[in-house]
Amino acid sequence: MRFILLYAALYAAFGVSSPFLPAFLSSRGLGAEEIGLVLASSTAIRLFAGPLVGRLADRYRLWGRLLAFCAAAAGACALLFLPAQGLLMLLPVALLQASLLAPLAPLSDALALSASGTPEPKSGAKPFQYGWVRGVGSAAFVAGSVLAGEAARPFGLVVTLWLNAILLGAAALCALPLPNIVESPSDAGQQEKSGVLTLLRIPVYRRLMLAAALVLGSHAMHDSFAMISWNAAGIDTGTASLLWSESVSAEVVMFFLVGPALINHLGPGRAAALAAGLGILRWAVLALSTQVIALSLVEPLHGFTFALFHLACMRVIAETVPKRLAATAQALYGTLAAGAANAALTLASGWLYEHFGVGGFWAMAALCALALPVALSLGRSP
C-alpha cells in the first residue's frame, strides 16, 4: 500500500504539470523559441542530475531519504514559478526543478523493485509485483492530467502548479516510511569509486541499455507527430484522443494484469524480444495507413512496446545489478537509455516527418528490428 500511494502521488504530480508547463510558460511572456530553450535545457540537466543523485543514494544508502527530499524540494520549486515572469526568472526555476525531478522515478523504481516479491517483515503483508505499482502510476498520470485540465478552466494554469506542489509534497511524505533496499551479504560494505563504470562492465546491462535506447527511443516519432499526422489525415481531435487513450489503457492493463505473468512465463529476454517484434508491426502499420480502423488495432500494442519492454528491463536490472548500485542503474536507464535516446530521436523525427511524412515510421520500425536480437540476448547471463 505504501508504494501504491507513492506512485499515485508521484505520477499524478507529473500528470498535472508536464502537459501544461509549455502553455504556462507562454502565458508568462515566453515565445516559442524561449519555451524550446527552457524545455531543452531542462531535459539536458536531467541527464546529469538523475545519475548523480542516484549515485549519491547508492553510495550513502539514502535511497528513501533522498527521494523524500527531492520530492519535497521539487514541490517547493513549483511554487517559485508563481511570481516568475520572463526568461531570466523562469529558466533558473525550471532548471532547478528539473534537476530535483530527475531522480524521483529512478529512486522509486529502485526501492519498489527491491521490495517487490517479498513479504513485509513486520506486517507480514503479501508480496506485490512491481508492475502493479507502476500501473497505478500510469493511471494516476492520466487522472492527474484530466484533473488539471478541468481545474485550469475556471482557475487558470496557475492551479496546475499548486496541484504539482501538493502532490509532490504528498509523495515526499509517502517516501519517508518506505523500507530501504535490502543488500546481499556480498554487497554489504562495498564501495566503488565509479558505480557507472562498474555497471558498464556488466555485459547484460550494456545490452539492456542498447535495447532500451532502440525500442523506447522508437516511440519518439509517435509521441511527437502521431497527433499531427492523424489530424492532417482528417481524423478529428476527439477520435485522435480516443486512439491515444487506447495506448494508455493498454499500458495500464499490461502493468497491472498481463505483464508480470508474461515476464514469468517467457523470461525477460523473450518478453523484450516480443515487445521489439510488435514494435516493428506497430510502426510499419503507422507508416502504411492513417485509417482509423488500422490505427485502432495497433495503438493497444503500446502495452507491449512500452510497458512489457519496461517490465522486462526492470526484471533484468533486479536480477543482474548489485543492490548497492540499484539507484545508479535505474538513473542511467531512465536518463540515458530512455531519455537521451528519445531526445535525439525526437530531433531526427522532425526531419523524417518533414521529408517523408508518415513514411518516417519505417525508420522507427528499423530501430526495433535492430533491437530484436539484442533484446533476445537479455535472457542470457552475463
The answer to whether 282 and 301 are in contact (CB under 8 A) is: yes
d(CA 278, CA 299): 11
Domain 2-175 CATH assignment equals 3.30.930.10: no
Within 8 A by CB and 6+ apart from 337, the residues are 208, 209, 210, 212, 213, 216
Cα–Cα distance, 281 to 138 (Å, whole number)? 24
Q: Which residue, chain included where needed, has cell 522509486? A: 108
User: Residue 119 has what pLDDT?
Assistant: 47
Alpha carbons within 13 A on the beta-carbon side of 206: 7
- State the SS3 of 334-345: HHHHHHHHHHHH
Q: What is the pLDDT of residues 301-343, one digit of tens each?
A: 999 999 999 999 999 998 888 888 888 898 889 888 888 888 8
Give the model's pLDDT for residue 323.
83
pLDDT at 183: 57
Q: Count CA within 13 A, CB hemisphere, residue 305.
A: 29
Residues of the chain with pLDDT > 70, as a percent, come to 93
Report the pLDDT value the prediction gives residue 33, as an integer from 0 to 100: 83
Single-letter amino acid, residue 35: I
Between CA 34 and CA 90 the distance in angstroms is 10
Structure confidence at residue 186 (pLDDT): 52
Q: What is the pLDDT of residue 381?
A: 64
The domain over range 198-379 is classified in CATH as 1.20.1250.20: yes
Which pLDDT value is given to residue 324?
A: 83
SS3 string, 126-141, reads CCCCHHHHHHHHHHHH
Q: Which residues of the chain have pLDDT under 70?
A: 117-127, 181-194, 381-382
What are the residue boundaries of the structural domains of the chain, listed by start? 2-175, 198-379
pTM: 0.83
SS3 for the chain is: CHHHHHHHHHHHHHHHHCCCHHHHHHHCCCCHHHHHHHHHHHHHHHHHHHHHHHHHHHHHCCHHHHHHHHHHHHHHHHHHCCCCCCHHHHHHHHHHHHHHHCCHHHHHHHHHHHHCCCCCCCCCCCCCCHHHHHHHHHHHHHHHHHHHHHHHHHHCCHHHHHHHHHHHHHHHHHHCCCCCCCCCCCCCCCCCCCHHHHHHCCHHHHHHHHHHHHHHHCCHHHHHHHHHHHHHCCCCHHHHHHHHHHHHHHHHHHHHHHHHHHHHHHHHHHHHHHHHHHHHHHHHHHHHCCCHHHHHHHHHHHHHHHHHHHHHHHHHHHHHCCHHHHHHHHHHHHHHHHHHHHHHHHHHHHHHHHHHHHHHHHHHHHHHHHHHHHHHHHHCCC
Is 204:376 a contact under the CB 8 Å cutoff?
no
2-175 shares its CATH topology with 198-379: yes
Chain segment 86-112, per-residue pLDDT in tens: 999 999 999 999 999 999 999 998 888
